[in-house]
């Protein structure tokens, strides 16, 4: 399974592609950050993010896209930009018919580190170990995008199989 993880942000949108399956070693395919300047109007920044995501989808052909689920913060302007970037990411994936999963920061932290309250340094270190990298991906948005992809392979893939089995059984859950 190949997953594009997206850590949405208006200034820095982390992008990470991971390949692998549950119970097998995962591998890094690519990682980077789409950057936009706060001097540019928001609509143009969103177009830059859209073009960047579309280019990654074209280049890497993921099987699924995992996006960080937005959670409430005290700074409304930050959450608005993050939510707008997340929306663009979901539209890009939906346009191609790709499965889209949303994972909360605490789900991602728990999946990669075993602690839902892990800090960014711990997440970065675990991403480095899991993917057998020489160094922690920088900036943190890049490491977070990889953590999202890892989480989806480990958790989201299993959930998709459960959902498919439930659907095959006539939609009844016990």
pLDDT tens string 13-28 = 999 999 999 989 999 9
Q: Residues at the annotated binding site for Mg(2+)?
A: 7, 68, 141
Helix (H), strand (E) at residue 14: strand 12-19
Q: In angstroms, rounded to a whole number, what is the distance separating the alpha carbons of residues 124 and 112?
A: 9
Enter the tokens of residue 102.
Answer: 């949303």
Options 21, 30, 134, 141, the catalytic residue:
141
2-168, what's its fold?
A: Nucleotidyltransferase; domain 5 (3.30.420)
| Confidence at residue 74, expressed as pLDDT on a 0 to 100 scale | 63
| Confidence at residue 165, expressed as pLDDT on a 0 to 100 scale | 67
- Tens digits of residue pLDDT in 78-128: 889 999 999 999 999 999 999 999 999 999 999 999 999 999 999 999 999
Domain map of the chain by residue range? Answer: 2-168
> Quick one: pLDDT band at residue 170, thresholds 50, 70, 90?
confident
- Tens digits of residue pLDDT in 49-73: 999 999 999 999 999 999 999 876 6
3-state DSSP assignment of residue 169: coil
Is the pLDDT reported for residue 174 higher than 60? no
Residue 68 annotated to the active site: yes
Closest CA to 30 of 65, 5, 49, 63: 5
3-state DSSP assignment of residue 73: coil
Residue 144 annotated to the active site: no
Helix/strand/coil (H/E/C) assignment for every residue in 24-36: CCCEEEEEEEEEC
| Confidence at residue 13, expressed as pLDDT on a 0 to 100 scale | 98
Is the pLDDT reported for residue 173 higher than 80? no
CB 158 within 8 A of CB 22: yes
Q: Provide the H-helix boundaries in the chain.
A: 42-60, 76-95, 105-113, 120-130, 140-151, 157-168
Residue 59 annotated to the active site: no
């Amino acid at each position: 399974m190949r997953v594009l993880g997206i850590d949405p942000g208006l200034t820095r949108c982390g992008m990470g592609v991971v390949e692998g399956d549950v119970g097998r070693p995962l591998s890094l395919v690519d990682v980077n950050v789409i950057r936009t300047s706060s001097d540019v109007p928001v609509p143009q920044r969103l177009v830059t993010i859209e073009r960047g995501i579309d280019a990654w989808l074209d280049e890497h052909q993921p099987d699924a896209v995992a996006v960080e689920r937005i959670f409430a913060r005290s700074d409304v302007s930050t959450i608005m930009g993050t939510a707008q970037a997340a929306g663009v990411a979901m539209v890009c994936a939906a346009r191609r018919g790709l499965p889209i999963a949303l994972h909360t920061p605490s789900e991602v932290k728990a999946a990669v580190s075993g602690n839902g309250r892990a800090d960014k340094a711990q997440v970065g270190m675990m991403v480095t170990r899991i993917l057998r990298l020489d160094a922690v991906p920088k900036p943190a948005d890049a490491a977070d995008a990889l953590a999202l992809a890892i989480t989806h392979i480990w958790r989201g893939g299993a959930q998709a199989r459960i959902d498919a089995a439930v659907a095959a059984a006539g939609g009844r859950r016990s």
